[in-house]
Structure 1
Amino acid sequence: MGQEMLSIFQLEKRRSLWLIGITVAMILAFQYLELPYGNVQPIVLFANKIPTSDSIRFQAADLPSESEMFNNKTILNQANSTDKNSLEIVNETRTSEKKDTVSSTGFISEPGMESSRSLGFDESSTVESNGISNNGSATEQAGNLGLRFYNNTISHSPSRAIIPTNLSPPPSPTKESPNIIPPMLSNDDDETDFTEDESFRPLKDDMNIVGNDSSINSAPRETKSSQRPLPEVTTIAEMNELLLLNRASYNSMRPRWSSAVDQELLQARSEIENAPIVNNVANLYAPLFRNVSRFKRSYELMERTLKVYVYREGAKPIMHSPYLLGIYASEGWFMRLMEGNKQFVTQDPKRAHLFYLPFSSRMLEETLYVPNSHSSRNLVQYLKDYVDMIAGKHRFWNRTGGADHFLVACHDWAPTETRRHMARCLRALCNADVKEGFVLGKDVSLPETYVRNAQRPTRNIGGNRVSRRKTLAFFAGGMHGYVRPILLQHWENKDPDMKIFGTLPKSKGNRNYIQYMKSSKYCICAKGYEVNSPRVVEAIFYECVPVIISDNFVPPFFEMLNWESFAVFVLEKEIPNLKNILLSIPQKRYLEMQMMVRKVQQHFLWHRSPVKYDIFHMILHSIWYNRVFTVRAR
Structure 2
Amino acid sequence: MNRSFKIYVYPHRRDDPFAHALLPVDFEPGGNYASESYFKKLLMESHFITKDPSEASLFFLPFSIARLRHDQRNYPYWDRTGGADHFYVACHSTGRSAMDRAEEVKLNAIQVVCSASYFLSGYVAHKDVCLPQIWPRKGNPPSIRSSQRSKLAFFAGSINSPVREMLLRAWENDSEISVHHGRLPTPYPEALLSSKFCLHVKGFEVNTARIADAIFYGCVPVIIANHYDLPFSDILNWKSFSLVVATLDIPLLREILRGLTSEEYLQMHENLLKVRKHFRWHLNPQDYDAFHMVLYELWLRQGVVRFPLTGLPDSDRRRYGNSSVGLLGAG
Which category describes the TM-score, using the shorter chain as reference length? 0.7 to 0.9
Give the letter aligned to residue 403 of structure 1. A
Shift of 1:477: 0.9
- Whether 1:436 aligns to 2:116 is no
- In structure 2, the residue matched to 1:354 is 58
- In structure 2, the residue matched to 1:500 is 179
- In structure 1, the residue matched to 2:327 is 632
TM-score by length of 2: 0.85
- In structure 2, the residue matched to 1:560 is 235
Kept after mapping to 1: 8 A contact 2:161/2:204: yes
Matches within 5 A, 1:63-102: none
Shift of 1:561: 1.3
Matches within 5 A, 1:499-518: 499-505=178-184, 512-518=187-193
Which one of 425, 438, 456 corresponds to residue 109 of structure 2?
425
Take 2:160 and 2:179, find their aligned partners in 1: how far apart are those partners? 15
- Whether 1:586 aligns to 2:285 is no
Matches within 5 A, 1:215-614: 302-313=1-12, 315-322=18-25, 324-341=29-46, 343-361=47-65, 364=66, 381-382=69-70, 385-386=71-72, 389-391=73-75, 394=76, 396-421=77-102, 422-423=105-106, 424-437=108-121, 438-451=123-136, 457-459=137-139, 461-493=141-173, 495-505=174-184, 512-614=187-289
Kept after mapping to 2: 8 A contact 1:449/1:537: yes
1:40-94 deviations in Å (ceiling 9; x for gaps)? xxxxxxxxxxxxxxxxxxxxxxxxxxxxxxxxxxxxxxxxxxxxxxxxxxxxxxx
Instruction: Name the SS for the 2:239 alignment partner.
Output: helix
1:12-33 deviations in Å (ceiling 9; x for gaps)? xxxxxxxxxxxxxxxxxxxxxx
Shift of 1:627: 2.2
TM-score by length of 1: 0.45
Kept after mapping to 1: 8 A contact 2:64/2:95: no
Aligned length: 299
Instruction: Name the SS for the 2:22 alignment partner.
Output: coil
Shift of 1:429: 0.9
Kept after mapping to 2: 8 A contact 1:321/1:360: no
Give the letter aligned to residue 632 of structure 1. L
Kept after mapping to 1: 8 A contact 2:85/2:303: no
Give the letter aligned to residue 55 of structure 2. R
Instruction: Name the SS for the 1:499 alignment partner.
Output: strand
- In structure 2, the residue matched to 1:619 is 294
Kept after mapping to 2: 8 A contact 1:331/1:360: no
Instruction: Name the SS for the 1:557 alignment partner.
Output: coil
* Percentage of pairs with the same residue: 39
Kept after mapping to 2: 8 A contact 1:329/1:450: yes
- In structure 2, the residue matched to 1:265 is none
Kept after mapping to 2: 8 A contact 1:458/1:607: no
Shift of 1:501: 0.9
Take 2:207 and 2:98, find their aligned partners in 1: how far apart are those partners? 17
Give the letter aligned to residue 44 of structure 2. E
Instruction: Name the SS for the 2:267 alignment partner.
Output: helix
Question: In the superposition, relative to structure 1, how do residues 459 and 418 fare at CA in structure 2: closer, same or farther (>3 Å)?
Answer: farther
Give the letter aligned to residue 579 of structure 1. R
1:450-489 deviations in Å (ceiling 9; x for gaps)? 12xxxxx443622411111000000111112221121111
Kept after mapping to 2: 8 A contact 1:473/1:524: yes
Shift of 1:419: 4.1
Take 2:222 and 2:94, find their aligned partners in 1: how far apart are those partners? 25
Question: In the superposition, relative to structure 1, how do residues 359 and 475 fare at CA in structure 2: closer, same or farther (>3 Å)?
Answer: same
Shift of 1:359: 1.9
Take 1:334 and 1:419, find their aligned partners in 2: how far apart are those partners? 24
Instruction: Name the SS for the 2:2 alignment partner.
Output: helix
The structure carrying a bigger strand percent of its residues is: 2
Take 2:287 and 2:56, find their aligned partners in 1: how far apart are those partners? 22
Give the letter aligned to residue 61 of structure 2. L
Question: In the superposition, relative to structure 1, how do residues 458 and 596 fare at CA in structure 2: closer, same or farther (>3 Å)?
Answer: farther
Kept after mapping to 2: 8 A contact 1:504/1:512: no
Kept after mapping to 1: 8 A contact 2:85/2:304: no
Instruction: Name the SS for the 1:627 alignment partner.
Output: coil
Shift of 1:504: 2.6
Question: In the superposition, relative to structure 1, how do residues 425 and 419 fare at CA in structure 2: closer, same or farther (>3 Å)?
Answer: farther
Kept after mapping to 2: 8 A contact 1:426/1:627: no
Take 1:574 and 1:485, find their aligned partners in 2: how far apart are those partners? 14
Report the RMSD for the aligned CA atoms in angstroms: 2.1
Kept after mapping to 1: 8 A contact 2:192/2:214: yes
- In structure 2, the residue matched to 1:4 is none
Kept after mapping to 2: 8 A contact 1:442/1:627: no
Shift of 1:446: 0.8
Shift of 1:585: 1.2
Question: In the superposition, relative to structure 1, how do residues 486 and 309 fare at CA in structure 2: closer, same or farther (>3 Å)?
Answer: same
Take 2:200 and 2:218, find their aligned partners in 1: how far apart are those partners? 14
Shift of 1:500: 1.2
Question: In the superposition, relative to structure 1, how do residues 479 and 633 fare at CA in structure 2: closer, same or farther (>3 Å)?
Answer: closer
Take 1:584 and 1:611, find their aligned partners in 2: how far apart are those partners? 37
Unaligned runs of 5+ in 1: 1-301, 369-378, 452-456
Give the letter aligned to residue 196 of structure 2. K
Kept after mapping to 2: 8 A contact 1:458/1:605: no
Shift of 1:596: 0.6
Take 2:162 and 2:21, find their aligned partners in 1: how far apart are those partners? 32
Shift of 1:310: 1.1
